[in-house]
């Protein structure tokens, strides 16, 4: 039987960064490779219906054990990792964290922050400093897979039917696009895709994306007066029209933001890509309207068609669905407490596959994985937190 640590270290070796530029599903070959690995391991456990569909999604189920009628519970995690930084992982293990700064293999230093003092003495898995670690969400996968193996043991406690799903391309907002809810078969589910141990989340952002394309006019700078339209300069002008205090680095809690994720350009053309987030749907609509107004202003100044915006909605705040099913939240809360973990009910400053799935008929709050610093080179996770989350999941499905 593999430990959750062994599984995690194995899964992070597979490079699964998703690629928003590729419209295929999954968007990268590595996700297919990881999916095949997971199917193989599930079948080796004796889960005969484990399969990967043509879109890369992995599904499996564990039959109910015992006479008691229980709900059919789903557990979901995603296979891709963020493209915010490189994804070729070389994990480093710190057997017993001493509470001080952590020097990574490439010389980068993680200074202790508010959460790290509580991890003193824990075994940590960190990055080399050259990539993400991939705990978002391979920790969730490792925890679910470890649970599956425990449930397939003859001495496993009684439980209802359990449905397993591993999705591609969650990080680029497509994880729920081709998820087969009816085939999945659960009454409700949990995504295991959160952060520090104990997090229990059923509120998330309302989310949209915006691509701003700018057309300029290139003229030799020596004779450019009153003729040149510098697209790169207009891109900076557009960004300056958005409120600086509503950027991610200046917001917290229920405060929404405009986040410039990518930019490119020259005198002739430029492109800006944003994600827009707010827990309040009306406030998100106002953010979208402000961006459109900024584009309209520049078009009025420099000519129609100079600035073109494409705004797309990604997901909505799942609170309005999940709060109608308080028993799902209570089941998870009790499971944390039964395992000595104080549940921390909070709003996600992000989103999960569960947001979309909730609105499509599968109520789906989010659970912690135990990790910290997702989407960055300083990502880390305590081994003990992954072990504890496996115990929490056992309590959830056997409750």
Instruction: Judge whether 41 counts as a catalytic residue.
Output: no
Question: Out of 55, 80, 136, 143, which one is annotated catalytic?
Answer: 80
- Give φ, ψ of 131 to 5 degrees: -160, 175
Q: Where are the beta strands (DSSP E) in 269-378?
A: 269-278, 307-315, 344-347, 366-368
CA neighbor of 372 nearest in space, from 109, 66, 114, 27: 114
CA distances from 301 to 80, 109, 228 (A): 42, 47, 13
Whether the Cβ atoms of residue 242 and residue 176 lie closer than 8 Å to each other: no
Preceding amide of 137 cis, omega within 30: yes
Q: Which two tokens stand for residue 305?
A: 């068609």
Instruction: Judge whether 80 counts as a catalytic residue.
Output: yes
Integer Cα distance of 133 and 145 in angstroms: 18
According to DSSP, residue 62 is labeled E
Tokens 């700064």 sit on residue: 101
Q: Hey, CA dihedral for 260, 16, 144, 98, is it positive or negative?
A: negative
Question: Out of 137, 169, 170, 193, which one is annotated catalytic?
Answer: 170
Residues designated catalytic:
80, 170
């Amino acid at each position: 039987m593999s430990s959750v640590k062994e599984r995690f270290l194995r899964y992070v070796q597979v490079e699964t960064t998703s690629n928003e530029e590729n419209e295929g599903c999954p968007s990268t070959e590595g996700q297919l490779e990881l999916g095949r690995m997971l199917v193989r391991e599930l079948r080796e456990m004796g889960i005969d219906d484990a399969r990967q569909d043509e879109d890369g999604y992995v599904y499996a189920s564990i039959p109910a054990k015992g006479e008691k009628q229980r709900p059919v519970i789903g557990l979901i995690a995603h296979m891709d990792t963020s493209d915010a930084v490189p994804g070729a992982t070389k994990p480093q293990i710190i057997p017993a964290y001493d509470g001080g700064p952590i020097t990574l293999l490439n010389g980068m230093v993680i200074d202790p922050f508010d959460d790290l003092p509580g991890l003193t003495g824990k075994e940590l898995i960190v990055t080399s400093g050259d990539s993400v670690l991939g705990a978002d969400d391979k920790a969730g996968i490792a925890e679910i897979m470890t649970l599956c193996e425990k449930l397939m043991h003859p001495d496993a406690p009684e439980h209802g039917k359990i449905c397993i799903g591993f999705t591609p391309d969650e990080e680029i907002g497509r994880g729920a696009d081709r998820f087969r809810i009816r085939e999945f078969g659960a009454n409700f589910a949990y995504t295991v895709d959160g952060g520090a141990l104990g997090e229990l989340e059923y509120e998330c952002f309302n989310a949209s994306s915006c691509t701003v394309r700018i057309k300029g006019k290139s003229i030799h700078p020596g004779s450019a007066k009153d003729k040149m339209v510098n697209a790169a300069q207009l891109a900076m002008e557009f960004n300056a029209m958005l409120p600086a205090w509503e950027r991610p680095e200046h917001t917290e809690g229920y405060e929404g933001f405009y986040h410039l994720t990518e930019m490119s350009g020259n005198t002739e053309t430029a492109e800006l890509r944003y994600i827009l987030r707010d827990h309040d749907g009306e406030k998100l609509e106002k953010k979208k309207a402000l961006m459109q107004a900024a584009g309209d202003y520049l078009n009025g100044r420099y000519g129609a068609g100079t600035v073109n915006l494409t705004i797309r909605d990604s997901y909505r705040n799942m609170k309005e669905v999940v709060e109608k099913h308080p028993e799902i939240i209570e089941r998870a809360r009790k499971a944390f407490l039964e395992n000595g973990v104080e549940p921390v009910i909070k709003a996600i400053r992000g989103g999960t596959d569960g947001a979309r799935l909730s609105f499509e008929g599968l109520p789906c709050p989010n659970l912690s994985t135990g990790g910290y610093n997702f989407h960055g080179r300083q990502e880390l996770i305590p081994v003990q937190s992954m072990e504890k989350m496996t115990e929490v999941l056992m309590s959830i499905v056997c409750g």
